[in-house]
Amino acid sequence: MAEKEKLTMAVLSGDLERALAAFMLATTAASMGMEVSMFFTFWGLNIIKKNEGGIRSKGLMRKMLNLMNRGGSKRLKLSRFNMLGLGTWMIKRLMKDTNMPSVDEFIAMAHQMGVRIIACTTTCGMMGIPAEEDTFRSEVTTLAGAAYFLGEARHSKVTLFI
């Protein structure tokens, strides 16, 4: 059996439309037999944080950051035309009307198809996000750093930065 082609993605954005695009590509690649790894860093962590619960971090700046930046797939916004939430709400309606899966559904689908969902330890450390069970969704299987990302990327047919 021929070795699987790899797709590696670095997801730095936390925008709704970028999250959707990233997962659309990931699930399509997986359905084409590719081995997919997605590394979430900086704002990308918001996509894979749990929707419930708060972030217990230490220090005033970190507490403020994590209060303003709660994250979770339900809190993602459009990068443009968010219009204080109205635009995002409208896009979500359109998504529902056209049977497009939500980010939540995409993450579950991707995980089921074998896509690896990885969180960046450096961002976690800097932002004071405890890399524990409670912080990230169950689909997040690994926590890793840049070297691991590059280790995957150098063996990948396709590498993307979102």
Binds other proteins (CB under 8 A): choice among 12, 108, 113, 131: 113
Stretch that binds other proteins, among 9-17, 23-31, 55-63, 68-76 (CB under 8 A): 23-31
Q: Does 8 bind other proteins (CB under 8 A)?
A: no
Give yes or no for a contact between 36 and 116, defined as CB atoms under 8 angstroms apart.
yes
What is each CA distance from 2 to 25, 33, 47, 82, 159, in whole angstroms?
A: 22, 11, 33, 45, 20
What is each CA distance from 30 to 89, 99, 109, 161, in whole angstroms?
A: 29, 20, 10, 18
- Residue 55, token pair as written in the block: 């972030």
Residue carrying structure tokens 């972030």 = 55
- Rounded to a whole number of angstroms, the minimum distance from the CB of residue 56 to other proteins is 37
Q: Does 21 bind other proteins (CB under 8 A)?
A: no
x/- map, 28-47, other proteins, by CB under 8 A = x--xxxx-------------
Q: Which residues bind other proteins (CB under 8 A)?
A: 24, 27-28, 31-34, 98-101, 109, 113
